[in-house]
Amino acid sequence: MKKLLFIGFLLIFINLPQEASARPLRVFVSILPQKYFVEKIGGDLVEVAVMVEPGASPHIYEPKPKQMVALAETNIYFAIGVPFETTWLEKIAATNPNMLVVHTEAGIKKIPMKGHHHEGRELEQDHHTIKDPHVWLSPPLVMIQARNILQVFLKVDPANRSLYEKNYNNFIKEVVMLHAEIRAALEGKGKKLDFMVFHPAWGYFAQAYGIEQVPIEIEGKQPKPAELQYLIQYAKERGIKVIFAQPQFSWQAAQAIAKSIDGQIVFVDPLAVDWDTNLRQVASKFKSALK
């Protein structure tokens, strides 16, 4: 009997670590583009679930009860600093004390949300308090996030170090190529060019490529009639013919402006899961609009 017990213990000790390493790491991310980054670096060693479901807005998202339950089985939560986390990240962390909560945007210097530059003092103050959360739309900033993701995997699963590092190096090469490609597509236009966008998600992208976004809405606030008039005037003066909008938001204001300037609405999605393909497409849409 004693012998059997001893063998039993031995089996437990032998089995536990093997079982743990054979199972992929369970990871949660806030938004779809992060799934792309985490899978690039984690490969088959990770299984990724996304909190903000396709078509939903990370500005106002509320986790579903079944997602809160799934967190109990999660090893790592990769946050990115999108607005719904302000309300929810603490609750998310509290569901599972064994889950590592990581801020992938750590080390990124955030810029204030850009407002309508003609506006009064009240609005201006508003803009300065809101930091732009859309850090995943700039390839140079994604390299910082990739580094943060890699560090976490090396810490949590050091046995697979070489695999993570290999994946990371390949991903960085891809991001460097994408960055060069977009820069080549958008540069050489002479002066700085404006594009008008309904929801100002493209601030870091614009910063990376020397173009400038003119927002219609600022973080959920629709323009007042006077602002709308100003924007129409602005677009006419600058010869802007395309208004960019995104599928997750209502875009009546964008439509009103487009109609007034005899222009059109083009959809660009900041939250697509096929991150690199999407950024390429966005760059080519911007390129044709900025001609």
Tell me: does residue 201 bind Zn ion (CB under 5 A).
yes
In whole angstroms, give the CA distance from residue 17 to residue 290.
56
Q: Of 18-26, 140-148, 201-209, 246-254, which segment contacts Zn ion by CB under 5 A?
A: 201-209
Rounded to a whole number of angstroms, the CA Rg of the chain reads 23
Tell me: does residue 206 bind Zn ion (CB under 5 A).
no
Contact between residue 43 and residue 58 where contact means Cβ atoms under 8 Å apart:
no
94 three-class SS: helix
In whole angstroms, give the CA distance from residue 275 to residue 102.
21
Closer to Zn ion at the Cβ: 111 or 163? 111
Closest approach of Cβ 248 to Zn ion, in Å? 8
Total of chain residues touching Zn ion, rule CB under 5 A = 1
Closest approach of Cβ 90 to Zn ion, in Å? 21
Distance, C-alpha 64 to centroid of its chain = 20
CB atoms within 10 A of CB 158: 9
Closest approach of Cβ 133 to Zn ion, in Å? 6
Question: DSSP letters of 171-210?
Answer: HHHHHHHHHHHHHHHH---SS-EEEEESS---HHHHHHHT
Contact between residue 231 and residue 254 where contact means Cβ atoms under 8 Å apart:
no
Tell me: does residue 231 bind Zn ion (CB under 5 A).
no
Write out the two tokens for 20. 């743990």
Closer to Zn ion at the Cβ: 75 or 278? 278
Q: Of 9-17, 92-100, 162-170, 200-208, which segment contacts Zn ion by CB under 5 A?
A: 200-208
Closest approach of Cβ 147 to Zn ion, in Å? 24
Burial 208-246 (b: 16+ CB within 10 A, else e): bbebebbbbbbbeeebeeebbebbbebbeeeebebbbbb
Find the residue with minimal CB distance to Zn ion: 201
Closer to Zn ion at the Cβ: 85 or 157? 85
Within residues 103-122, the interface with Zn ion by CB under 5 A covers none
Q: Is the dihedral of CA 128, 200, 76, 45 positive or negative?
A: negative
Tell me: does residue 32 bind Zn ion (CB under 5 A).
no
Write out the two tokens for 69. 């339950």
Closer to Zn ion at the Cβ: 26 or 127? 127
Tell me: does residue 254 bind Zn ion (CB under 5 A).
no
Q: Of 158-166, 179-187, 199-207, 222-230, which segment contacts Zn ion by CB under 5 A?
A: 199-207
Closer to Zn ion at the Cβ: 178 or 201? 201
Closer to Zn ion at the Cβ: 201 or 279? 201
Closest approach of Cβ 246 to Zn ion, in Å? 8
Tell me: does residue 211 bind Zn ion (CB under 5 A).
no
Tell me: does residue 102 bind Zn ion (CB under 5 A).
no
Closest approach of Cβ 163 to Zn ion, in Å? 34
Closer to Zn ion at the Cβ: 26 or 114? 114
In whole angstroms, give the CA distance from residue 208 to residue 281.
16
The residues of the shown chain that bind Zn ion, judged by CB under 5 A, are 201
